[in-house]
Amino acid sequence: MIYLKKIIAYCGGDGVGPEVVEEGLKVLKVISEYTDFEFDFKEAPAGGNVYKKSGKSLPNQSFETIKNSDALLFGAVGLPDLPPGVGEVAVLQIRQKLDLYVNLRPIKLYDSLRDRCPLKDEFIGKGIDIAFVRENTEGLYANKGAVLTDETAENSMVYTRKGCERIINYAFELAKSLNHSKVTSVDKANVLNPSRLWRKIFHEIGEKYPEINKEDIYIDAFCQWLIRKPDSFQTVVTGNMFGDIISDEGAFLIGSLGMASSGNIHPGKVSMYEPIHGSAPDIAGKGIANPIGAILSVKLMMQESFHSPNIAKLIENSVEEALIEGRTIDLKNPEIKTRNTREMGDLITEKLKKNLKK
Ligand code: NAD
Ligand code: IPM
Ligand code: MN
């Protein structure tokens, strides 16, 4: 048998982060038990709790571990008793240092979760299945020229041609591989220069894909279209800040912020997979967080970093099957047994073992 050896760095981070990453690791352990993959796990501590101990949110040694791994499974960072941004900077530094310019955030409403979608059937229409592609290294997040005094505060939004081209190219290629007939670009070109450049490049690149329809929507209107007609979107490409916001909106449409996964990707290089939610201080330590965003992030890792679409699909199938029998409290349904984080992870791994054996 040929073993596919991979080093997986992992970082729980703060709040519910370690609770959900634990369940993601369980899934990876099942994969190494039941398939030709062999995973070696290495912890890379980061975030607010690490800052409190060491004065650094991303210690050098943790970054070395990450850099030398094949992929990183990340939880969430940020603590309410630290100033905003102190723990969080760890995730931004990883994205910048590894040049993870793609933030892929799929939003899919499972049939088994239609009862938790806040929209009426009339608005759900044919269903919700959107690939959000968020630019992940430029814009306001690059923090160029940042100023903060008591009198003035400034962050500048810089977009480069190179930065726009690579993410928009990625989005069109993704749309092609998913057989999508349309790519939607979300911007604010009626106000912002970076959006004007972005829009120009979107159409330049779009010309190479005559079979794919191109659509521009302003961010404000998009926020209502996403609720009003979510089934009209397939691949959606947007900048860093807008992508952050609309992906949380999308996550609640599929049932809970705890459901949504993400890949921070530089194709062919070490990439980071994390649920899109944060450290959820309101439920941290209770063992009730939904681990599915983290587990579906493992699905994305198998798909994007380890090129195993079949295993990825089996993870997703296992999640869907498990949701019929058990749910965490954020997805409450009186007819379905409520499970805690661990029990939900166990239910999914049981299904996965059966699916991998078939
Ligand atoms: P949040 O995503 O942590 O929580 C928002 C709401 O969603 C809360 O009610 C929370 O309980 C719920 N929620 C989140 N994850 C859940 C899960 N897995 N299961 C069930 N419910 C869940 O957003 P926030 O409260 O604005 O942020 C808390 C902290 O997390 C802040 O410090 C923020 O900066 C940080 N944050 C970090 C990341 C990251 O590490 N990538 C992402 C977002 C927010
Ligand atoms: C996310 C988070 C981060 C972001 C924060 C914690 C820096 O909200 O991953 O969505 O804004 O990108
Ligand atoms: Mn966010």
Per-residue model confidence (pLDDT) at position 28: 98
Burial degree of 294 (CB within 10 A; 0-12, 13-18, 19+): buried
Whether 244 lines ligand 2, by a CB cut-off of 6 Å, is yes
Ligand 1 pocket, residues with Cβ under 6 angstroms: 16, 20, 76-78, 88, 91, 256-258, 274, 277-283, 289-290, 293, 330
Domain ranges of the chain: 1-109+260-358, 118-253
Q: What is d(CA 283, CA 279) in angstroms, rounded to the nearest whole number?
A: 9
- Give the pLDDT confidence score for residue 64 in this predicted structure: 98
- Please, are residues 43 and 311 in contact by the beta-carbon 8 Å criterion? no
Distance (Å) of CA 331 to CA 22, 260, 325, 328: 20, 13, 12, 6
For a substitution probing ligand 2, which of 91, 245, 300 has the most ligand atoms within 8 Å of its CB?
91
In angstroms, the CA 245 to CA 140 distance is: 13
The pLDDT of residue 33: 97
Assign domain 118-253 to its CATH superfamily: Isopropylmalate Dehydrogenase (3.40.718.10)
Determine if ligand 2 sits within 6 Å of the CB of residue 76. Answer: no
Q: Is the pLDDT of residue 51 over 90?
A: yes
Q: What is the pLDDT of residue 179?
A: 98
Give the tokens for residue 8. 């997986």
Confidence of residue 295 (pLDDT cuts 50, 70, 90): very high
Instruction: Give the pLDDT of residue 1.
Output: 54
- Say how far apart CA 245 and CA 224 lie, in whole Å: 13
Nearest CA, atom 5, ligand 2: 88
Residue with CA nearest ligand 1 atom 23? 278
Place of tokens 């398939």: 35
At 317-333, the pLDDT tens digits run 999 999 999 999 999 99
Instruction: Give pLDDT tens digits for 159-184.
Output: 999 999 999 999 999 999 999 999 99
Name the residues annotated as catalytic.
Answer: 141, 188, 220, 244, 248
Distance 280 CA to ligand 1 centre (A): 4
Give the DSSP letter of residue 229. -
pTM: 0.98
Our answer on whether the CB atom of 330 is closer than 6 Å to any ligand 2 atom is no
Q: Which atom of ligand 1 is nearest to the CA of 294?
A: 18
What is the maximum span of the chain, computed from C-alpha positions, in angstroms? 65
Average of pLDDT values for 243-268?
Answer: 98
In the chain, the percentage of residues whose pLDDT exceeds 70 is: 99
Surface-to-core class of residue 268, CB atoms within 10 Å of its CB (0-12 exposed, 13-18 middle, 19+ buried): exposed
User: In this structure, which topology does domain 1-109+260-358 adopt according to CATH?
Assistant: Isopropylmalate Dehydrogenase (3.40.718)
For residue 2, the model assigns a pLDDT of 65
In contact, 110 and 321? CB cutoff 8 Å: no
- According to the model, what pLDDT value does residue 144 have? 76
- What is the mean pLDDT of the segment spanning 35-46? 98
CA 246 to chain centre: 12
Q: Judge whether 1-109+260-358 and 118-253 match in fold.
A: yes
Sheet holding 235-238, edge to edge: 37-43, 4-13, 71-76, 271-275, 261-265, 102-108, 129-135, 235-238, 182-187, 213-218
Give the residue whose CA is nearest to atom 7 of ligand 2.
88
User: DSSP assignment of 17-62, as one string?
Assistant: HHHHHHHHHHHHHHHHHHSSEEEEEEE---SHHHHHHHS-SS-HHH
Pairing between β-strand 261-265 and β-strand 147-148 as defined by DSSP bridges:
unpaired
Instruction: Tell me which DSSP letter residue 90 carries.
Output: H
pLDDT in tens, 134-165: 999 999 999 777 999 999 999 999 999 999 99
> What's the whole-number average pLDDT of the chain?
97
